[in-house]
Structure formats: C-alpha cells, structure tokens
Amino acid sequence: MIGVFCDKNEELIVREFFELFKTPWEFWDSHHDYDVVISTLSQIPECDAKLVVFYSSRYTEFDIQWKIAVKQGLSDDFVVTGNIHLPIYGAVAKFDDAGSSLLRDQSDTGNVAIELFDSSKKFIRVGYDLFYEIAYLINGGQPVENAMMPSLDIHISLLRDWIAAMGTPFVEIPPLPHGYKFMVCLTHDIDFAGIRWHKFDQTMWGFVYRGLVGSLFNCFSGRISVEELARNWGAVVKLPLVFVGLSDDYWEHFDKYAEIDKGLGSTFFLIPFKNRPGDDFEDVNINRRAVSYDLKDVREQISHLTTLGFEIALHGIDAWGSVEKGLQEMQRIVELTGRKEIGIRMHWLFYDHNSPATLEKAGFDYDATLGYNETIGFKNGTLQVFQPFGMAKLLEIPLNIQDTALFYPRRLNLNRKDALCLCNQLVNFADRYGGVLTVSWHDRSLEPERLWGRFYVKLLKELQSRGAWIGCAHQIVSWFRCRRSIAFEESRFTGDRFAIKLNDANLPTESKIFLRVYNIHKRKNKLDSGSSNLYIDIPLTGNGALEIDVKKYGV
C-alpha cells in the first residue's frame, strides 16, 4: 500500500494520477502502515515504510538533514533515464553527488533524482514536482515539439520501477486487456460525405487543382506512382459524371471503411448541421469550416453502419463552447441512432479550458478532441483515457495519429515510408506502456486525390501484428470506465499469501481486466524499463477478496 503525504490542493491531481497508475494507495494516515510513502511536502512523515519517494523542486528540511547541495531553477532541459528524455515543465532542483544517481538532466549539469539509504529504508529524492507535472499535462498539454513523448506515462513508469526495485510484491491493474499489448481506437471524421455536394465551390476547385497539378509534382518527386497519377487524373475527368449520377462518388466511403474495419469496430463522427461554420475561434477562416451535407442526406448509410455494429458519434461545431448548442447538436445524433450515450470530437479540434465542463453539462459520454492538428503524438502525455479535473463522468480519449497531420503539405508532409516510421514510434510506446492509440482517418482519404487508403490498410495490419485490441471509441472508453470503477480496499502480503480485496465494481468477464502482481514469478519476465523484477498476470473474473498463493508461482 502506498501512502501519499501531500498538500490539500494536490488531492484532486493525486486521485487522477492513481486512476492511471492503478495500484493500492491512500492519503497518508498516521495510524496506518505503508510499504511506500510518497511525499511532496517540505518534510517526510515518521514512518516504517521501506521506500520513501520525495518529490520537490524546493530546498527542503530533508535536504538540510542529509546535507544535500541543491541548485534551484526553472526547467530548461529534459531529464534522462536510459534512452528516454523526459521533459519537465515546472521548476526543477538539481543535486550534488550525495547519493546514487537515478536521473540526470540532459545537459549533464546535475542529478535530478538520487537514491539514499539509512539503516532501515531507502529514500529517493526527486527534484521536480510530480503532481504539478501531471496537472500541466492534463490541463493544457504539451507543446508540439514534445509531441512524441508520453511524458505522463513515463512518470508512472519511473515510480513503478522504483517501487518494483524494492523486491516486495505489489499489484497493479495495467491499462490494457488481458492477452493484448495495447488498444487501438479507429475513428473517421465525416467532413464531406461525398464530392457531389461540392459543385463549383472552393472544395471542388481545390480537388481539381491537387488532382491535376499537385499529383504531377508528387509523381515527379516520387511521392506517388504513375499509376496513382493516372487514377487522380481519371477522377478529375470523371467528376462531371459523378455530379449527374452516372459514376460512383469516390469521396463517399462508408461501405469501404465498413469493409476495411470489419470485425474490428470503428467510430464515425458526423457533423450535425449543413452550412453552419460555427463560432469564431483563434482567428481561423471560419467560413471554410461549414460542411455541404446534411444528416438526412446520409441517413441510409448511417443506418447500415449501425446495423453492422459501428458507432455513430458527433463531430461537433459549437458544443465546445456552448451547453445549449451542444444539446442541439447531440439531439441530431440521438434522433439518427436512438443511442443515449453519445461521444464527441470537435470539428477542427476546437477546444478551450472550459470545454470539459461544457461538454459534461451537455451530457456527452466522452470527448475525443485532444490531439494535434499539425503533428501526431501525445498532446496530454498519455496513452490512457483520462478524466479532466473536476468532472464527474466525462472522459477524454486522446487523439494520436491523424492522416492530415501526416500527409498535408502545410503539416508534416511526409512520404509513406517516413510516415509509417513515425507511427511506429508511437506504436513502440504503446507496446511499452499499454493504453490506447487513437487513429483518425477522414472520409475522403481512401481514394483520389489523397490516395491514403493503402497506407491506412498497412497501418492496420501493423497494429494487428503488434498484438493490439482494436475497437471503436465507445468500447475503449467503456473499458477504461470499468477499470476506473475498481478500488482496492485492502492489499496485504503475509508469509506466502498475497491478499487483495476489491470494492463491488461490476466486472464483466469480457472486459479482460487483470491484476499484475510484481516480484513473485519464477520466470524471467521483465518490466517495461528493463528491470529484472518479476510479475504474473491474473485475470479478474469476479469481485470481493482474492488470495494469491506465492508458492504456487515458484518463489
């Protein structure tokens, strides 16, 4: 059991942190015994814990007691652990060589975490404010230059490894279903629903230019093949036939996505109102945000997708800033699907610091907006579904990989080889830390003039080959909601038995939620950072008490 000794104003952050690092913990109680104590105050409480982890960027009583020289300042660097460079966004303290170094800053001018021992316990002194870092990541998110770092998950991993190094058994509920390496959420933003709705407008003329001139340049530069050049030119030539209904609309891909995603599940985000650009936001060309289709124009296709088991959700216009407008937009999806639990992703990813409360008041089940337009990565530093501070129900499922971010000329503008390499960096982090990677592939991206369909299929195959469980946003969010409903009421290791008592959370068998028990397995499985500590995985199939016989596992 972990005891957390912290300031009152950190308690909300601590609660969310331990929803993500799902291990037994409680706020410090002087009447209880703990295996591990985490302190963020100036002093460390008197305790018999084997490990005390002390986070603070200030010069503290602990430093005076241990005669540690401390250099304080603002963070302008990363801390280094193995091959991981972790950005620190708040103040940081650097230490002399008073103890064994665990973390150093990137410029190698000092230790940021050190390990010290007395006769009965181990101390880890960390020179940044953990819960400030967590709040920074959840509230605002990382700058684009750090997009590729799952910073929040790295903080969890560091603490997990420090606890595991004690050698005492402890448990965690990892953020992934049993038998899988990580999860993938497939989503499709329906911004066009067909080129036939765009006769002689800016969208059509842009398509003609990119299909003819842009494709020629892309062919000369090796970004597309001669065959693909011919497909784009042919699509431009056939455009009049599409308009009069004599040729298939190559931007209407509901059926094709249903075929590609068959057996996997995916979410289609639809815009509720035609010709409505929405409220102004951050000096954008707001008129370009309006769409030319109406939900009644695609009612038949949506009904077919629903029958096949795909999720229909809202691609919101003004819901990010108005409860009233959010309710109006949601109602259109409710009328279309009959479902009461509706998720949302804002069109063009509009969002501000008031959006979580606004969306929750409107009654949305989850939001899938938090990601980057200009790049791929981890905006909030995590692969996990999380809850914004102060919310009672709304969960955020992060957006990680977006087709337009990869391939748009004014964004990353990558060729397919480099795009797959960059995506694989995110997949490697998912394989290491668990959680979910959310992929957004737009409705017009499979065929001319974008021709990003082959890449999408290749990416799906790569994700499946890496052991991912793939589903729609509602499935993923429901899984995390189920995990969040679990609470440890007791965690006790006595002799050869490990006793765990859970609350009365409803755990359906198909959820594949499981306990990971560290340091009691006879085989040489390794933790994600390369530690030699051992673990076993035990599926949770019911509620109440669970006892683990350590001898059974060869300890």
| CATH classification at residue 124 | 3.40.50.880
Same domain, 330 and 385: yes
Whether 516 contacts 171, CB under 8 Å: yes
Structural domain contains residue 521: yes
Same domain, 443 and 317: yes
Same domain, 61 and 93: yes
Q: Residue 270: what residue type?
A: L
Same domain, 423 and 391: yes
Structural domain contains residue 228: no
Q: What is the pLDDT of residue 489?
A: 86
Please name the residues in contact with 260: beta carbons below 8 A apart, sequence gap of 6 or more: 456, 457, 460
> Containing domain of residue 512, as a range?
486-553
Chosen domain end from 480, 496, 523: 480
Q: What is the dihedral of CA 256, 224, 427, 364, to 10 degrees?
A: -40
Same domain, 476 and 494: no
Same domain, 316 and 459: yes
Same domain, 285 and 425: yes
Same domain, 25 and 154: yes
Same domain, 467 and 362: yes
Structural domain contains residue 463: yes
Consecutive H or E run containing 171: strand 170-172
Q: What is the pLDDT of residue 544?
A: 66
* Integer Cα distance of 380 and 301 in angstroms: 34
Whether 93 contacts 56, CB under 8 Å: yes
Q: What is the pLDDT of residue 204?
A: 94
Q: How many CA atoms lie within 13 A of 136 on its CB side?
A: 16
Q: What is the pLDDT of residue 253?
A: 85
* Integer Cα distance of 403 and 421 in angstroms: 14
Structural domain contains residue 205: no
DSSP 211: I
Q: What is the pTM of this model?
A: 0.94
Structural domain contains residue 320: yes
Same domain, 142 and 274: no
Q: What is the pLDDT of residue 527?
A: 41
Structural domain contains residue 237: no
Same domain, 359 and 501: no
Q: What is the pLDDT of residue 283?
A: 67
Structural domain contains residue 235: no
Same domain, 276 and 407: yes
Neighbours of 84 (CB within 10 A): 18
Residue ranges, the chain, pLDDT below 50: 522-533, 555
Chosen domain end from 480, 508, 542: 480
Question: Structurally, how many domains does the chain consist of?
Answer: 3
* Integer Cα distance of 481 and 394 in angstroms: 10
Structural domain contains residue 365: yes
